[in-house]
Structure 1
């Protein structure tokens, strides 16, 4: 026996056909037919009450599995709470499948409770939308709508992947069951046609002519084959490879600490050709550097999407990063023999030496805290980074021993980092470490209000009493009431929240306490652990400013 709502059964089978295995479900009544149908299949259902958290938990699961993940909710504003996560998934290219229960269309705008117009509510942030009828009356109806549903869901996993939304109106009663009426066609695997990418003759000539080629890696999944290709190009004299941690590439094949290296940059290192792989570059400095260079920009992506990040875009090339790099490797012997790569490596070495000198005597601050966290990281853990200043501090350190590194850089908001880490750790057996800021943690603490929290999750909250980024960037401090309206200054302590959620709480308020607590923080435990590290908000920005000045000049300044 199954639900008597045939559209729910149809959607369930289509979800299986595209490879779906996980669905995050939020409670309600209108979505009962979907819950009934999905429970009949070999699909893992993860219950999360708060739909905003549910959306980001599904995002974390999808990132960890590289598979489409479903979201099921009831009617009304429940659906709207998915919005931040759907926007993030859209700009990250992550396949989320939103399945929203609804009232029949004749009930919309008639003063009936828990009812809104749900059609196309994510119109700016979805790859596809489908409104289903309230019932299917014949086998022919079932067959026709089955194809439409499959087409919609398939849009989530094509080369331009992302979220899709199917809205399902259900009439009452909602809990009745019956034998399945209609026969589904045999399931067929969805095959992606191979893309036999070749460089054009013009592209080959431009690559061969360039004395200064800069390959810049943004957000990418960990991929050994891609790393191997980058390794082969890393010793080409005319090619320099820069990679942020979100690219999941190692320091052995790239310069990872872009912001500090750019403190020493010279005009002769401005590129002639910039090749970007992946999306959403974090560093504002590299964006400015390239924007002010006389260069051409090629952006490589599976969908061929245009990303004119630097105002220099010449070509958007439709190819997988590996396909493109394989063709460049084939040209390796014909590329220029300049000093470009060595020049970059030389200033990277100077920046690294000065970094070590500064850190060795650094005052207690956000910077020294990140240094110690990175020094004590267990090998092969998964790092989930908060946004704002957190992800930028990580970019100042190289050789971080992570297995994977992720930050929600699609929209770069602070609102779902905790929930994303919860979803990710649900899938991965290795340790997952979330490093987050105080405002971000406070904003998303509901991400820990569920039964999905695994013992392999660790969270470090860097509590600097507000939005520390607004003390770093120029401008906000010139505005009246800066601490109130920009920094969000507070004196919050998170012990109560953490212990009420049943998690293990630790705290550090100075360097010695941090060192002592980190010794045991990563040890196995029966519950997840959270460490709150308090840092001096009035010192953090000064330390960072002096750090960059030392990288640039090699001279120390006194911290006030």
Structure 2
């Protein structure tokens, strides 16, 4: 036992005071003091995950769903570097993550000491704040310092824009700290509490300019990008409905079920069947999934209002003519819906999307997009949906209408395909609700180690594995114009995932059509634990099916498909 290490208990007290209630721990030697302090605290729930890369995404998933900061703890060396992908995603998707990395002390750096790398500031510009703590010593002032730094880390992670922070904590051997119950010195450290302020309401002068723009608009649109479930998404849906403004709601917006929501807008745009472009756009949330929608809005040359909780607003198309910073929730509920009469514009959108709905219902063939649509629309409001990147989220955004109340998540901060399974498992464990993950085979392969966290499940977790033998998204992109070299991008493989799923204690089944998929989902969503439902398709089939769908819609509307 090392009496110098008792201040590490004060550090964990600071985490708790900042709102941290969960910690994901990867094993190692140098992080021994942190591990013991966390598991002995009593107010922080520890979870063990042996793979640091998957552990980072698992913690991110828990934080994304709960809205609370989650700590992720690892040992020194390359273990820290394995957290980098999750840190990047947390930064760009604004998820509160507290990264605690154990390290060697300064005298062991740059001298060839084993498992020692340049850890301070390793994550660079991808964290909101980074700090190296002093080496713990048997001193009350250092205990106060460590506790204050941990409290600050959690509060910074929680303050908008939320995001990851990094505390690098060096330790000297021996690494075994005294037990918390044996640490009388903690009595000298008074209790501390912290709470970040909520986002301030939008400035009245900015909102007045928006109301003036609405009053003169003839064709306004509300565009809802990715948002977390909660009051803002509900307020956006309420406003669009009350005002009678068409709402183009991204699959991750949490308000696609609104009465004002325009379904299948991506198909309508692709078929060249959209109404006249808007003259005013009000955009809430992050960047939308549909590239075609972004391109169409860019060509509209409309007044464009971006609402964001911070000045770090998202606007990759440089479209903003007005930026409104703050929380618009109260304004969205209170603003007068009588600013204009937009019934004609709303009717034009409903006519166009009605044609898209008829085209979809006209015996859509069984292909990847239909499998994603079937899975998403099989969920009920008690369920949670997580979408993988590449094709699954694009298919869901274009084709699927989740039932009201279904929470929808994805890693769209950096839109990587790594760590998706771990993120989904973290969301499932944090929510305790039946969770569906829709994921492609290459993304599933990238995070097979993440399946180890399935042992933490208390509810059903179902992965619909869309298997097209690798990288089918490239059949939709420019690379498809070079068919002789396409395999360098689609990376075909012969992997059999069934024994791998069973090795992690899961159930693996195959579904060959929509009816079989619905049946498999009904059974799996009633069975706690991991189930993988695999659906297989030819790698080159999806683009052809979409072309047929666009042609059918364009024909009905009397226009040429794009």
- Say whether the fold is shared (TM-score over 0.5): yes
Map of 2:169 onto structure 1: 168
Map of 1:446 onto structure 2: 449
CA 1:476–1:121 in structure 2 vs 1: closer, same or farther (change >3 Å)? Answer: farther
- From 469, 472, 475, the equivalent of 2:473 is 469
Map of 1:210 onto structure 2: 217
CA deviations on 1:190-219 (whole Å, 9 max, x unpaired) are: 151672434324333222212222211111
Map of 1:354 onto structure 2: 359
Map of 1:243 onto structure 2: 249
Whether 1:520 aligns to 2:527 is no
Q: TM-score, normalised by structure 2?
A: 0.91
Q: Which has the higher helix share?
A: 2
Q: Give the aligned length.
A: 548
CA 1:312–1:165 in structure 2 vs 1: closer, same or farther (change >3 Å)? Answer: same
Whether 1:460 aligns to 2:464 is yes
Whether 1:296 aligns to 2:303 is yes
- Secondary structure at the aligned position of 1:124 is classed as helix
**1:37-48 equivalent positions in 2, closer than 5 A:** 37-41=37-41, 42-48=43-49
Deviation at 1:367, TM superposition (A): 2.6
C-alpha distance in structure 1 between counterparts of 2:514 and 2:143, whole Å: 64
Contact 1:61 1:426 in 2 (8 A): yes
Stretch moving more, 292-301 or 398-407: 398-407
Map of 1:315 onto structure 2: 322
- Secondary structure at the aligned position of 1:408 is classed as coil
C-alpha distance in structure 1 between counterparts of 2:303 and 2:189, whole Å: 52
Contact 1:53 1:419 in 2 (8 A): yes
Deviation at 1:310, TM superposition (A): 2.1
Contact 1:244 1:256 in 2 (8 A): no
Map of 1:71 onto structure 2: 72
Map of 1:253 onto structure 2: 260
Q: TM-score, normalised by structure 1?
A: 0.92
C-alpha distance in structure 2 between counterparts of 1:116 and 1:436, whole Å: 35
- Secondary structure at the aligned position of 2:124 is classed as coil
Contact 1:213 1:271 in 2 (8 A): yes
Deviation at 1:519, TM superposition (A): 4.9
Map of 1:415 onto structure 2: 418
Q: Please list every run of 5 or more consecutive structure 1 residues that lacks an aligned counterpart in the other structure.
A: none
**1:123-522 equivalent positions in 2, closer than 5 A:** 123-136=124-137, 138-177=139-178, 179-182=183-186, 183-192=188-197, 195-200=200-205, 201-223=208-230, 226-228=233-235, 230-237=237-244, 239-249=245-255, 250-265=257-272, 269-326=276-333, 329-337=334-342, 339-357=344-362, 360=363, 362-401=364-403, 403-450=406-453, 451-478=455-482, 480-483=484-487, 485-510=488-513, 513-514=516-517, 517-522=520-525
- Secondary structure at the aligned position of 2:474 is classed as helix
CA deviations on 1:532-555 (whole Å, 9 max, x unpaired) are: 111122322211221122222239
Deviation at 1:229, TM superposition (A): 5.0
CA 1:3–1:469 in structure 2 vs 1: closer, same or farther (change >3 Å)? Answer: farther
Contact 1:258 1:283 in 2 (8 A): no
CA deviations on 1:100-145 (whole Å, 9 max, x unpaired) are: 0000011112111111010011112101001111134543343345
Contact 2:273 2:352 in 1 (8 A): no
Map of 1:33 onto structure 2: 33
C-alpha distance in structure 2 between counterparts of 1:254 and 1:180, whole Å: 60
C-alpha distance in structure 1 between counterparts of 2:445 and 2:467, whole Å: 10
C-alpha distance in structure 2 between counterparts of 1:499 and 1:351, whole Å: 41
- Secondary structure at the aligned position of 2:204 is classed as coil
Deviation at 1:395, TM superposition (A): 1.4
Whether 1:110 aligns to 2:111 is yes
Q: Please list every run of 5 or more consecutive structure 2 residues that lacks an aligned counterpart in the other structure.
A: none
Stretch moving more, 302-311 or 389-398: 302-311
- Secondary structure at the aligned position of 2:87 is classed as helix
Stretch moving more, 2-11 or 347-356: 2-11
Contact 1:470 1:477 in 2 (8 A): no
Stretch moving more, 334-343 or 416-425: 334-343
C-alpha distance in structure 2 between counterparts of 1:438 and 1:3, whole Å: 50
Deviation at 1:38, TM superposition (A): 1.1
Map of 2:123 onto structure 1: 122
Map of 1:552 onto structure 2: 554
CA 1:498–1:119 in structure 2 vs 1: closer, same or farther (change >3 Å)? Answer: same
CA 1:516–1:214 in structure 2 vs 1: closer, same or farther (change >3 Å)? Answer: closer
- Secondary structure at the aligned position of 1:446 is classed as helix
CA 1:520–1:149 in structure 2 vs 1: closer, same or farther (change >3 Å)? Answer: closer
C-alpha distance in structure 2 between counterparts of 1:34 and 1:78, whole Å: 15
CA deviations on 1:253-277 (whole Å, 9 max, x unpaired) are: 3124231121355686212222211
Contact 1:209 1:336 in 2 (8 A): no
Deviation at 1:378, TM superposition (A): 4.3
C-alpha distance in structure 2 between counterparts of 1:235 and 1:348, whole Å: 20
CA 1:193–1:385 in structure 2 vs 1: closer, same or farther (change >3 Å)? Answer: closer
CA 1:23–1:296 in structure 2 vs 1: closer, same or farther (change >3 Å)? Answer: same
C-alpha distance in structure 2 between counterparts of 1:515 and 1:57, whole Å: 28
